[in-house]
Amino acid sequence: MPTSAEITSNISTDEFSSSLLRRRVENNKDHVSDDTPPTEVSESSSLSSSGDEHGDKSTNEGIIVDFLTVPQPALDLPSLTDISRTASGVALSSLALSSHKQFKNFIHKHEIPRKFLHVSIGFFGLELYRRGFDPNTVTPHLIFVLIVISCVDFIRFNVSKFNRLYCKYFGFLMREKEVSSVNGVIWYLLGVIIVLASFPKDIVMLSLLLLSWADTAASTFGRAYGYLTPKFNNKSLAGSMAAFVIGLISAITLYGYFIPKYTALVDSPGEILWNPETSRLNYYVLVFLSGLVGAVSEAVDLWNMDDNFTIPVISGTFMWAIIKICAV
């Protein structure tokens, strides 16, 4: 709706145009001959052809100035709707990029791919046990993988371009310190191989579950809630408690379900060390000690060695010794 100032401006423009029209008509009357009829110019028609009902002199073609049309360039200005849509699109794009960055940072901070692989190895081990795996056949394959990864690490440390390429494709499974140090997978394989070669099958499986599940739980809860609890050797009480609980669950899973269900089908005599009929350790004490050993082996720092190596070796050694001592 036009304002009072715009109405006043339009009226003034109408009066000016009418004055010019009358002056031109009078000039035509003075200069034309008597036999030439004067050109009839209708004020209303001129005004109507040169503007709207409010006397606006601007048209789509140009602006009327003293009856001459001055062309004006057409400005392709965006509408308010277009501007709004553009602004909304930019805002949504910025929000999406921000959320993607936050999601990426979350995955990197909490080592999601690495922990997923860590946990999945425990389930893979249980599946191998269910299928009746033979440690004597598994160990050579693990040794071969260990040699290959060790050679890759040797090349990484001596060829910087190869190291950058390796980190580009496998960095999501690595910690930042492993860019210039020994890959954690090497320690993992070395610990599992020693356990496989040294202990009975149930001790091997329990050590693997403590490494796979209890260590992951300790790392996850330690990072999330460790600041709320005391620390010892850079290990938080929150992480140790998580390792203890998951250690209990690991022992229950192995000795309470898998071994009773599958041992008659897949185990040879002597492959399972703990037997309730030949041990002074009852089932509940065994489960408790398994959780305790899992928490201790995760918290212990032996000469700053990688816990992927120390956890299976320490837990396997302790559980083997406890069961042996308590044997009838």
Q: Where are the domains of the chain?
A: 4-71, 135-198, 201-328
Q: Which residue has the higher pLDDT, 2 or 197?
A: 197
Judged by average pLDDT, the poorest of 42-46, 126-130, 215-219, 268-272 is 42-46
Query: What pLDDT, on a 0 to 100 scale, did the predictor assign at position 328?
Result: 77
Q: Which residue has the higher pLDDT, 279 or 14?
A: 279
Q: Are the C-beta atoms of residues 218 and 298 closer than 8 Å to each other?
A: yes
Which tokens belong to 78?
Answer: 């965006």
Query: What pLDDT, on a 0 to 100 scale, did the predictor assign at position 247?
Result: 97
Q: Are the C-beta atoms of residues 263 and 276 closer than 8 Å to each other?
A: no
Place of tokens 């060695």: 305
| Mean pLDDT of the region 95-103 | 52
Q: Which residue has the higher pLDDT, 250 or 80?
A: 250
Q: Which residue has the higher pLDDT, 13 or 198?
A: 198
- Segment of 37-41, 133-137, 192-196 carrying the highest mean pLDDT: 192-196
Judged by average pLDDT, the poorest of 97-101, 110-114, 169-173, 264-268 is 97-101
Separation of alpha carbons 256 and 287, rounded Å:
9
> Residue 202's closest CA among 244, 234, 250, 242?
250
